[in-house]
Structure 1
Amino acid sequence: MNFNIVKNQVKRLGFVYNGVHHIYTFYLSCLKNWKRFKCRERIYSYGDDNPDKTFYVIGVNHTSAGLFAIVKSIGCHVIYAIQKGYIPVIDMQNFRSQLNDGVNEGNAWEAYYKQPCNYGLGDIKHSKNIVVSSSLPYPDGVEIGFDTTLDKNSYDKYHDLFKQYIVPNVAVATYADMKYANVIADKKQVLGVLCRGTDYTENKPVGHSIQPSPLQAIDKVREVMAEQGFEYVFLATEDKKIFDHFKHEFGDKLLFSGQKLYDGMNGKKYLSEIPVSCSAEKWQNIVDYYATIYILSKCDGLVAGLTCGSICSYFMTDGYEYVYFWNLGKY
């Protein structure tokens, strides 16, 4: 074998590889910049009303996201608007999500939450100063993602804003309070535990946080109960297998909201893809999930995998005595 010939062939292959790699990298950069341009913030004027106000219309497509992924994203846009001196108005009428799935149901946000500043789309349709949000999940400079450090600094930074502007409507709030009263009643020292399964653990969505196994979660919960003196476990899960594990371990000490449980994904990628019989069932499932995270936020302590639900419960709570998040990397 002629060593020089082999060496020259390797050099040529390296040159070709480097050239293709640079072209591909340039293509990805252009694609990213085009997406940001396409999804950019826009300024409009629809009339002469409210000349002294600037409204920030929040519209983002969340085609497969769960309720609290939507809430977390919208919460970031609301925070951005407040920082800019804008009045946020949430538009889930003209953008797709599991809350409306493109069906003309009015503004689907208002089926679950109040508008942050009591202005709806109808109130601003002739307004002079309209800023339409970028249609990216997070606006520039405000991102609460899985990498967010959930400590006192972040709690102090976001808790009051979530409490003031991300408020359930009367029907949802009343239902959640009723659920809390029925589930928790007069029980004290309740440890809230969020343990996701189904689409997280079966499909392992890329970029999402790895969740603990049921046995990992149970071992940690027993440890925390012994060390911190918690007497009850409130479990937030949608996974029947996880629920059965916890029920076997904690028996009458286990509290549960009655949210819908799933025994596998049946070939679906996301929970939001599992069909429901009617819009009333969809509303009920979503409100039951809201009530579960609301109760979680009212517990005395929290042990949870990193998910949008657990992150939102952290910002919703008025204070936990103990907090533990698993940080196991990403899928």
Structure 2
Amino acid sequence: MGCASCKERVRIYIKELKAKRKNWRWLKSWRCLRRLLWKWNDEAYLEDILKLGNDPNSIEIKSFGNENLEKNLFFIEIHGVMGLGGYMRHTLHALFEAEKLGFVPVVYYADSCPCKEFFANDEFDNPFEYYFQQTSSLSLSDVYRSGRVFLFKPPHLYRIERELGNLNPDLPGGYCVDDAYLQKMSGIVKKYLHLNDSVGKKLDKDREELFKKVVRMDQVLGIHIRGTDFLLHWKNHPNCVLPEDYFLAIDDALARGFSYLFLATDDRRYVECFEKRYGSKVLYYQDTYRSDGVCNIAFEESRQAGDSYRKGLEVLRDMYTLAHVGGLIAGLSQVSIIARILCLSMEREYRYIKILDNGLYKKH
């Protein structure tokens, strides 16, 4: 009798906690632990638990409400410590997955995104939408009212990478690409990834101003060179390519009829180096923030409102400008890969292209 009374009191206590939402997180943790202990010898159950958020072949589905029940949503939340180019690569891979599954994609760049402006007070503030139109007619707030929401998780990238030819088994969305991959991603860009109106107009205006003395864009040779943190040798990232490695290729391209160089770089020292050699042929956005240190500028701390957004906008402007020129010389980088994808999505081809590849750094 005493035991039954004790159980009843526990049930009443739990019911009160749920009603008041008091210590609800602790209660959920306790219930989870209790179930885990109860199922300790159930191998199938333990295997399913270990798969959650870790299995490339499992997709979790959630119900947040009763709306859009006729649609299968794919909630693409991208997060991690990487620049905007890396976020875009992961986004394209997730959109490729949504396309294959026939799901309706909604993209969200989480708080870890370097472009995130933390002064924003909107509950559904989404750095992806700072630059792009949402990938479907549904918004982030719609996701949290919908009944059939499938969740994209980082481990899915490994399976998607295999579907794309296993180009980067050690670092999904890495630096090994081929023509087939670029074509597939260009189709995804064409269907899903569109600049929002304000950013599209801004990039068009800036590009027209920069090239106002250029008669034809196919006279312009795009140069992308990464400095700053690329000099530090990150594992599974490209070995750096220095300016002198570019000069021979540039001289060859200039002999083929190019008249101008569009220089896209994050390193202030490289601007000086290329101007010293090529003089007035070198064009670049003079209002772009550049560094002469070894910290990725995306992660340099700033207290000025709008700086994070501006840095993202500047790298995006370089990508889209590189996609519009007549030729490209670049090292392995997310920016140059995205530029090549964007160029194909515009149904264009470079008349001259050279990718300078010093391999990937494999040591710790």
Give the alignment's TM-score, normalised by structure 2: 0.74
Residue 190 of structure 1: CA displacement? 0.5
Contact 1:96 1:102 in 2 (8 A): no
Contact 1:40 1:134 in 2 (8 A): no
What is the distance in 1 between the residues matched to 2:246 and 2:60? 45
Describe the superposition over 1:66-111 as per-residue Cα deviations: whole angstroms up to 9, x where unpaired. 1111111111101111111001101224x52212277765112111
- 1:64-83 alignment runs, 5 A limit: 64-83=81-100
Residue 272 of structure 1: CA displacement? 2.6
After alignment, is 321-330 or 133-142 more displaced? 133-142
What is the distance in 1 between the residues matched to 2:261 and 2:56? 47
Contact 1:194 1:304 in 2 (8 A): yes
SS of alignment partner, residue 91 of structure 1: strand
SS of alignment partner, residue 160 of structure 2: coil
Across the aligned residues of Structure 1 and Structure 2, the Cα RMSD in angstroms comes to 2.3
Paired AA for residue 239 in structure 1: D
After alignment, is 234-243 or 116-125 more displaced? 116-125
Give the aligned partner of residue 115 of structure 2. 99
Cα separation, partners in 2 of 1:44 and 1:216, compared to 1, 3 Å: same
Consecutive unaligned residues in structure 1, runs of 5 or more: 1-31
Matched, 1:168 2:198: no
SS of alignment partner, residue 141 of structure 1: helix
Give the aligned partner of residue 225 of structure 1. 254
Question: What is the aligned-residue identity percentage?
Answer: 22
The structure with the largest alpha-carbon Rg is 2
Give the aligned partner of residue 84 of structure 1. 101
What is the distance in 2 between the residues matched to 1:305 and 1:137? 27
Residue 137 of structure 1: CA displacement? 7.7
- Number of matched pairs: 291
Residue 187 of structure 1: CA displacement? 3.5
SS of alignment partner, residue 126 of structure 1: coil
Contact 2:67 2:145 in 1 (8 A): yes
Describe the superposition over 1:199-255 as per-residue Cα deviations: whole angstroms up to 9, x where unpaired. 111x121111123111111221112221x2211110110101111110011111111
Residue 134 of structure 1: CA displacement? 1.1
Matched, 1:147 2:165: no
- 1:1-331 alignment runs, 5 A limit: 36-37=54-55, 41-62=59-80, 64-93=81-110, 95-100=111-116, 106-136=125-155, 138=157, 140-142=159-161, 144-149=173-178, 151=179, 153-185=180-212, 186-188=214-216, 189-201=219-231, 203-226=232-255, 228-258=256-286, 259-265=288-294, 268=295, 270-317=296-343, 318-331=348-361
What is the distance in 2 between the residues matched to 1:179 and 1:104? 26
Describe the superposition over 1:253-286 as per-residue Cα deviations: whole angstroms up to 9, x where unpaired. 1110222111113xx4x33331123231221222
Cα separation, partners in 2 of 1:109 and 1:137, compared to 1, 3 Å: farther
Contact 2:116 2:309 in 1 (8 A): no
